[in-house]
Amino acid sequence: MRAGRSPLVVANWKMNKTAREAAAFAEEFLSLRPSLPDAVGVAIAPAFPVLERLGRLLTHTQVLLAAQDVHTESKGAFTGEVSAPMLRDLGVSLALVGHSERRRDRKEDEASFARKIERLLENGIAPLYCVGETLEERDGGRTDEVLARQMTALDAFGSLPAGLVVAYEPVWAIGTGRAASSAMAADTHRQIRSLLSKRYGSDLAASVRILYGGSVTPANAVSLFGEEEIDGGLVGGASLVPADFAALVKAAG
Ligand code: PGA
């Protein structure tokens, strides 16, 4: 964590937790909150049907409500989809775009990520743009090329998107128990920041928070978050247990 960028820890619950389970989590997590560092931003991204209930429970807390995705259009005949105005209405202030599970399962590409980011910005929601290489790409020495391509989703924006957060999530580290080493993650974060610098200049690029994601646990968080280049985490598995998630917030402080 570097001075000037405030740490952020984001729970990505994926397709886990019903509204009732989310409420139980919130009750327990919020009871631990007074013992956690105030300076660390915290956000939780539940599944869409859980946003309303969780949002109500998080009102007047400092914990932000986040969404796991958003549609490219504001409204229309798109069965099963959820738009940015709907998210805004529910009090969502941050939304993931480009998570590798969606890149893999939905074959979404940079052009559609750019449109999603546009819709979020129109609605005052900060985009959390996820990038990261597969194991095959890293082993093949193609990490630079892959990140450069993924970051082209930002080419549509002449100026730095308001509230932009980037998450570096190596695909081989997600849900595998095999996190990147702190040094490897920090190196890749520097690379991502230089891609931001090319677009927005070094001062603005230095203000963007870059989170690490992929098998973050209370055991490895202190070392990962201790890196100057790592501004917090995007956390799946370990965010499902209130005490573990609280430990991660503490580690980021
Ligand atoms: P994980 O997931 O922490 O379970 O590896 C991270 C993510 O996919 O955001």
Pairing of strands 8-12, 94-97: unpaired
What does the pLDDT read at residue 240? 98
H helix or E strand, kind and range, residue 235: strand 232-235
Give the dihedral of Cα atoms 61, 168, 217, 93; nearest 10 deg. Answer: 10
Ligand 1 nearest atom to the CA of residue 175, by list position:
5
Ligand 1 nearest atom to the CA of residue 179, by list position:
5
Q: Is 233 in the pocket of ligand 1 (CB under 6 A)?
A: no
Ligand 1 centroid to 34 CA: how many Å?
26
Tokens of 247: 């430990």
Query: Which of 183, 193, 192, 72 lies closest to 132, judged by CA?
Result: 192
Ligand 1 centroid to 53 CA: how many Å?
23
| Residue 64 DSSP label | E
Give dist(CA 139, CA 141) in Å, integer: 5
Q: Which residues of the chain have pLDDT under 50?
A: none
Ligand 1 centroid to 90 CA: how many Å?
24
What does the pLDDT read at residue 3? 65
Q: Is 151 in the pocket of ligand 1 (CB under 6 A)?
A: no
Q: Is 50 in the pocket of ligand 1 (CB under 6 A)?
A: no
Secondary structure in 3-state letters for 90-115: CCCCEEEECCHHHHHHHCCCHHHHHH
Catalytic residue chosen out of the listed positions 101, 137, 169, 227: 169
Ligand 1 centroid to 96 CA: how many Å?
13
User: Which residues pair with residue 210 across a beta bridge?
Assistant: 166
Q: Is 161 in the pocket of ligand 1 (CB under 6 A)?
A: no
71 annotated active-site: no
Q: Which fold has domain 8-252?
A: TIM Barrel (3.20.20)
169 annotated active-site: yes
Positive or negative CA dihedral for 133, 138, 140, 145? positive
Give dist(CA 91, CA 42) in Å, integer: 15
Hey, whose CA ends up nearest to atom 6 of ligand 1? Answer: 236
What does the pLDDT read at residue 1? 62
Give dist(CA 235, CA 2) in Å, integer: 20
Query: Which of 197, 168, 207 lies closest to 185, judged by CA?
Result: 168
What does the pLDDT read at residue 142? 97
Q: Where are the alpha helices (DSSP H) in 107-180?
A: 110-122, 135-139, 143-150
Give dist(CA 173, CA 127) in Å, integer: 22
Tokens of 216: 């973050």
Ligand 1 nearest atom to the CA of residue 213, by list position:
6
The residue type at 44: I
Is the Cβ–Cβ distance between 210 and 167 less than 8 Å?
yes
Record the pTM: 0.97
φ/ψ of 9, rounded to 5, equals -125, 125
Hey, whose CA ends up nearest to atom 2 of ligand 1? Answer: 236
| Residue 217 DSSP label | -
Ligand 1 nearest atom to the CA of residue 235, by list position:
3
